[in-house]
Amino acid sequence: MSDVPPAFVRHYRFRIPLRPAAVLRYYLDFLLVPHSRAELARAALARAIKALPRLAALALGARQAERPDPDHSALPNTAASHAGLATTGLSAISLGDYRDSGRGKEIAFLFAPEQARPSVIAKTTPVPQQQSRLQHERDSLLGLRASLDDDLCATLPVPLAVFDSPQGLTCCESHLPGRAIYVEMRGSWRPERLVERHFGLAHGWLAQFQKATIADPAATGLGEAMRELLEQGGLPEAGQALLTERIALVASLAEQALPSVAIHGDFWARNILIEDSRIAVFDWELFQRQGLPLTDPIHFAISYGLSYPWRLGRWVDRAEAFRRSFDPAGPLRPVIERHLRGHCRAMGLDPRWIDPAITSYLAERVLEEAAAGEQPRRGDWRRIFASYAEMGQCACFGC
């Protein structure tokens, strides 16, 4: 027990206070994502003894947290003050960014005294591009909350304050109840039992949100990325044939007007919270006022498959994870197909749009990856696209 400090521990990118005990319990129940079978077992043990924070931290394998600099330690109090939260007795869990992300973003979960869940979420970054995204998120949420009904507004965070700090621009929002789909999926010993519920809640919310933000028909834009990728060349024969076929399919559907809807922009399992039958959605930095109705559903389906624990508690190669997601004999394929087709019915879309929309989505990711240059996992999307092309008709949903 002497290895565990009396004040703070660090686990992955999180810095967690051991007092009050409710803060560590919140981390164990709502934020912790195991990365192996051993960590799944350690997490289960930590949750079983979470009433004893030091022992739970030891069981988890948490290590002593370094002492923060004064500016860093002052940020939670400053954020709480701007958000209208009392600073006396305040506790905070801090989440640092990935070292190679270039975003420099930090997130703080602020706990008022005697509270088992955070009251405020504060996001901070010194990077100008990321600061613009935080401002965009605030403005987007204000606009959405002014135009949506009460039921949908209850699923969105409330922007509370934006201010400059020594660490950069800080944006404060209200906390939303629930556990992220990603946390629930990755932390489960039987993740296959959760898939139908996850897709049902996510797609149910999307249909409600899109119907509330539907606007005049928009140009599809689906062919642009596919044509650009085809013109760049360097693709295997199966990839070229796929792009040619899907571009022709888009042309054949051109007379069908697609509605324009609001797009979350990063609608994936980590940004979606569920509690019983309720859902909440956060991280609106990439929000678009106008977009295509299949963009968010496809992003959710593909990202879910890439995050799914195909080997209990462990990761598999991303191209292999994608292939398993689309394998007709796998556990995800029928659910993905059912919900994509169901979304088309809900929005009055021809299901033949699904396959060119998926191809366009993948083409966009390949182009973005190539434009980014040297990045971690470079080449993943090109390999995923090649895998999709090789699967042929068995990967089709809308035919």
292 torsion bin: left (phi>0), alpha (psi -120 to 50), beta (else) = beta
Residue 103: the pLDDT is 78
**C-alpha–C-alpha distance, residues 238 and 361, integer Å:** 17
Return all residues near 383 (Cβ < 8 A) that are at least 6 apart: 318, 319
Class of 70-109+118-175 per CATH? Answer: alpha beta
Distance of alpha carbon 49 from the chain centroid: 30
Nearest-angstrom CA–CA distance, 108 and 123: 7
Phi/psi of residue 212, each to 5°? -80, -15
The type of residue at 13 is R
| pLDDT (tens place) for every residue of the chain, 399 residues total | 344 444 899 998 999 999 899 999 999 999 999 988 999 999 999 999 998 999 999 999 998 887 665 555 678 889 999 898 988 889 999 998 877 777 789 999 999 988 999 999 999 999 999 999 999 999 999 999 999 999 999 999 999 999 998 889 999 999 999 999 999 999 999 999 999 999 999 999 999 999 999 987 766 678 899 999 999 988 999 999 999 999 999 999 988 888 999 999 999 999 999 999 899 999 999 999 999 999 999 999 999 999 999 988 888 999 999 999 999 888 999 999 999 999 999 999 999 999 999 999 999 999 999 888 755 455 699 999 999 999 988 788 865
As a whole number of angstroms, the distance between CA 75 and CA 331 comes to: 44
E-state strands within the chain: 8-11, 14-17, 63-64, 91-96, 106-111, 120-125, 159-165, 168-174, 179-180, 215-218, 258-263, 272-275, 278-281, 288-291
Domain boundaries, the chain: 1-57, 70-109+118-175, 179-395
Tokens of 313: 């508690």
pLDDT of residue 68: 61
What local confidence, expressed as pLDDT, does residue 1 receive? 37
Query: Would you state the pLDDT for residue 377?
Result: 55
179-395 under CATH 3.20.20.70, yes or no: no
Distance CA(182)–CA(145), nearest Å, equals 26
